[in-house]
Every structure is written in C-alpha cells, then in structure tokens.
Amino acid sequence: MPLEQVQRVAGAAEAETADHVAATLIARARAAQAGWGALEVGERVRVLAGLPGVLLGNIDRIAAAIVAENGKPRAEALAHEVVPAIAVARHHLDVAVRTLGPSRITSPTAPYRSAVRTHRPYGAVVAIAPWNLPFLIPFSQVLPALIAGNSVVLKPSELTPRVAELLVELITDCGLPEGVLRLAAGDGSLGAALVRARPDKVLFTGSVATGQRVMAAAARFPIPVGLELGGVDAAVVLADADLEFTTSAVAWGATFNGGQACCSIERVLVHADLFEAFRARLEDKLRRVDTRVDLAPAIDDRQREIWRQHVRAARECGLEVRGGDELPGRKITPALISGDAVTASTVWLEETFGPVVAIAPFDTDEQAVALHNDTEYGLTASVFSADVDRARALAGRLHAGSVAVNDVAATMYSTPEYPWGGVGRSGFGRSHGVDALLDAAWVQVIDAPRGPAFGPKRPWWYPYAPELEDAMRALAAAIAEPRLGTRLRGYGRAGHQLLTMLSRTPKL
C-alpha cells in the first residue's frame, strides 16, 4: 500500500479505519510470509547478500534523508546510523546460518532418541519504531526478523516516515519477495491497531508509557513482544579517572543527537575527590559545544517543551543550572545541573531526552552503586577509571543491560556483535548480536528414534509395574551423581532395570 494512502487512512484517526488498514496489512504480510519462511535460512541470506553493498551505494542518500527529516548533523547520521546499519547487515548475514540453522541435541537419559533444535519464524511481525535513530533502529528491528523468515510490517514514527520508506525500498531492492516487508506509515493509532490486528510478534522501541500500552494490548492474545524502552543512563566516574578524557566523553555522551538517545548520559556520579574539578571542566566543555553545527535540535515543540520543563523544575527546586538557555531553531545550550537535592529531582529521576545532564558526588564504590541502581530503569551505563579491572568489577554490579568501561555506552549500539537491551523499565529482549536473530524466531525441537522406527513399548507406559518405582529411583541417583564415570554406569544399570521390567510386564 503506498505511503500516502496509508497516511490518509490512518490520519482519519478513526479506530475502525485504522483497524481495517491494520488487518489488511497483517493478512497480506501473513500471506507473503508463507513462501519466505519456507526457505532455508541460507537461502534467505543469499537473497539479502547484496544488502551491505546496497547501503554503501546509497550512503549519501540515506544520510540526506535522515538529516532532512530528523534534523541531526550529517556526521551523526553517517556515524550513528548508516555505518552501523552496514555493520549490522554484515554481522547478521555472516552469522545467521550458524545461529539459526538446525543443531543436534543429545541426552544421556534418551540415548535411543535423536533430537534436532530448529528456529522457526513467528510469522507476521510488527516493528514499531521511534524517530531518534530513524534509520538504524527500524533497520535493526526489521533485518533479523526477515533473516529469521518472518514478514514484517514496519510502523515508523509519524515524524520520520520518509526515512523508513527509503529503508523499505533499499531492502526490497535486494530481491526480497513482494510484500514480505511492508511500510505502515501513520501515527500511534495505527501502531495500536496493528497490535490489535494480532500479528505473531511485536518489536517495539519507544517510550516506557507506549511500551506498556503495547504490552497490555499484546497480552490479550497473548503474543510475544520485545520492548526497547527509555532510560536515565549514568556515567560513574571514579577518583582516578582521567579528567580530560572523561569530561570529553561525558560532554559528547550527554548531548549527541541533541541528547535524544535512549542511551544518552543523563546522570553523572563523580567521586567527591574529583567532583569540583570535574564539574568545572564539564561545564566548560558543554559551553564550548558548537550548538549551531554540532548540536541537533529538538525533533518537535513537544520534545523541546519537556527540556524546558525539566530545566525549569530544576531551577524551582533551587538546583544550580548552568546553560539550558533558549536558542533559535528548537535548541537550548547544553545544561549541567547540580546541587544538594539533585538526586531527588526530575532530571535525575525521569528521562529528559535532551542536552541536559545532572551531576552528583559520591564517596565510596558502595554509594556509587546504590545511587546508580536507585532507579527503575536499566538501559546502559559507563564507568571511568584508570584501573580497568576495578571498573569492570564495578560495572558488573550496575543494573544496566550494557556497560562501557572508559567509553560512552552509546557506542556499543554501533557494535553489531553486542546484544543491546535493558532491564526493568528499560524493557527486555535484545537487538543486535546473535540475540537479535534468536529473538526473531521460536525454538522447535524435533525428537525421533535413533535406531528402529518403533522399538519396544516404553517401560513407563501402562500398566505401571511395581518395579518402575525402583527403576526411577536408580535413574534419579544416576542423574544426581557428580562423577561422570559413575553416572554413566548408573544410567546403564537403570536402563537395564527398565528393560528387565519390560520383559516381565507386557505393556498395553
């Protein structure tokens, strides 16, 4: 269905119309999936093999579409979206066969059986995407789902439909069969209708509030959902961190894409010994960000209003606000917020999704961990220290799906081998890594005889012989045995008991 047509129908904002469009899209996607899903994963990989090259050949076109619709600097469009998308394609195409291909399972409790584990596509998947990475996020949802054999209906943000249209065009041009990937451009009402239309899985990336609505709607059937939601991500700076390096990392990590990244640094925890020097240096670096060229604007007035509200609330609480001044073109100067009550303030507790960062001191590692984890979110974090081993150990105590030592965790999203996702209010499910491919499929185990087609009737079928209980006790003892040799001998004894019993008690 052409983009304009879907937008016109969904724009009518009538649930009935949106439901009709959604039902039609899901039915068509399901029909198209049958043939695509029947291919071997290797065949699907061959169809999509040209994708990295297609992206490379369209690198400037994609970047231009992102800049035009989202407003971010071209350098960010290239570095944070197009290049990582090529890397994601390369990774998934390289690992798909060994990740999703069949594998054999053996079990010592079923030596006469042979099982195969396979990954089957869900069917028609709905991918619902936000606007902040309008190419990379939907691409990262769509590609693993397609490789796994699903068809996909992509519902991009209503603020960035043209980038999504280009994405669908480029993937389709690789030779994807007609209708396997469809665009459903419209607003949230179309997204809600698509979930109501009972697809086979929903991949959602966006705000916590919308994610909760999507999950509640999916629970009616129920259908599985993957939720990639927001965060109030933190950088933990230990006393031995390099001041220059770390303030540069935080200045960038808090403001790239205008701070409109799920993994944007919104909180900075700095050891008390370094705190004043760190705050002053960070303030200086934030003031020197080129707001005209390098800082992306708020995507719309609603987003800018959230920035204003959070900065205003900080001032009203008596916190010290440096920056946060209004600029033309829906921008503000990067804001640094500190003060005694900062850890109880809105900017600390709620996602601002803007170039606003709050900073607080801590005295001990224990305090840093407690302060970091005192949030219901858990998407990403970073730890800065000259002692990498100590930082790594501390990272393992933070409640966050991705933690970077001496780097900004956002960069991890551009590393396609790394699974990406959160805990708590930041959602569940993983994009990128082999986990994204595995999340796009359900596991089927097919178990069959290893030897003769039928063999003897099973000793545990009717009637239950009195000796069955003894044989089960012998089997339980064998399973529990820690020493492998003794365990294998135990299996042998239990098996012998079962077979002897079988010869004495004919089965129904």
Binding region for ligand NAD (CB under 6 A)? 128-132, 137, 155, 157-158, 187-188, 191-192, 195, 205-207, 210, 213-214, 228-230, 262, 351, 353, 379, 422, 427
Taking the complex as a whole, how short is the minimal distance between the CB of residue 385 and ligand NAD, in angstroms? Answer: 26
Our CB check for ligand NAD shows the closer of 208 and 465 to be 208
Neighbours of 188 (CB within 10 A): 18
Among 200, 233, 229, residue whose Cα is nearest residue 213: 229
Q: What is the DSSP string of 170-231?
A: HHHHTTPPTTSEEE----HHHHHHHHHT--SEEEEES-HHHHHHHHHHHHTTT--EEEE---
Q: Is 255 helix (H, G, I), strand (E, B) or coil?
A: helix
Our CB check for ligand NAD shows the closer of 158 and 240 to be 158
Our CB check for ligand NAD shows the closer of 167 and 475 to be 167
Taking the complex as a whole, how short is the minimal distance between the CB of residue 380 and ligand NAD, in angstroms? Answer: 9
Taking the complex as a whole, how short is the minimal distance between the CB of residue 372 and ligand NAD, in angstroms? Answer: 18
Taking the complex as a whole, how short is the minimal distance between the CB of residue 421 and ligand NAD, in angstroms? Answer: 7
Q: What is the DSSP string of 376-402?
A: S--SEEEEE-S-HHHHHHHHTTS--SE
The sheet that has 103-105: what strands, in order across it?
A: 103-105, 113-121, 441-449
* CB within 8 Å of 206: residues ≥ 6 apart: 128, 129, 130, 157, 228, 229
By beta-carbon distance, which residue lies closest to ligand NAD? Answer: 191
CA distance 153 to 181: 6
Angle at which helix 272-287 crosses helix 243-255, to 10 degrees, equals 50
Our CB check for ligand NAD shows the closer of 181 and 502 to be 181
Taking the complex as a whole, how short is the minimal distance between the CB of residue 264 and ligand NAD, in angstroms? Answer: 8
Taking the complex as a whole, how short is the minimal distance between the CB of residue 223 and ligand NAD, in angstroms? Answer: 13
CA distance 136 to 86: 9
Taking the complex as a whole, how short is the minimal distance between the CB of residue 495 and ligand NAD, in angstroms? Answer: 50
CA 28 to chain centre: 26
Q: Say which amino acid occupies 377.
A: Y
Our CB check for ligand NAD shows the closer of 45 and 379 to be 379
Taking the complex as a whole, how short is the minimal distance between the CB of residue 260 and ligand NAD, in angstroms? Answer: 7
Taking the complex as a whole, how short is the minimal distance between the CB of residue 405 and ligand NAD, in angstroms? Answer: 20
Taking the complex as a whole, how short is the minimal distance between the CB of residue 116 and ligand NAD, in angstroms? Answer: 33
Burial status of residue 113 (CB atoms within 10 A of its CB: 0-12, 13-18, 19 or more): middle
Our CB check for ligand NAD shows the closer of 330 and 392 to be 330
CA distance 373 to 390: 18
Q: How far is CA 38 from CA 33, 35, 41, 178, 435, in A?
A: 8, 5, 9, 15, 22
Residue of 69, 76, 81, 228 marked active site: 228
The answer to whether the CB of 337 falls within 8 A of the CB of 314 is yes
CA distance 356 to 249: 15
CA distance 407 to 410: 9
Taking the alpha carbons at both ends of the chain, their separation in whole angstroms is: 59
Our CB check for ligand NAD shows the closer of 36 and 353 to be 353
262 is annotated as an active-site residue = yes
Please count the residues of the chain.
508
The answer to whether the CB of 198 falls within 8 A of the CB of 223 is yes
Among 18, 17, 32, 3, residue whose Cα is nearest residue 194: 18
Residue of 69, 76, 81, 262 marked active site: 262
Computed from CA positions of residues 267, 270, 276, 279, in that sequence, does the dihedral angle turn out positive or negative? Answer: negative
Our CB check for ligand NAD shows the closer of 422 and 459 to be 422
228 is annotated as an active-site residue = yes
Our CB check for ligand NAD shows the closer of 150 and 402 to be 402
Instruction: Report, as residue numbers or ranges, the catalytic residues.
Output: 228, 262
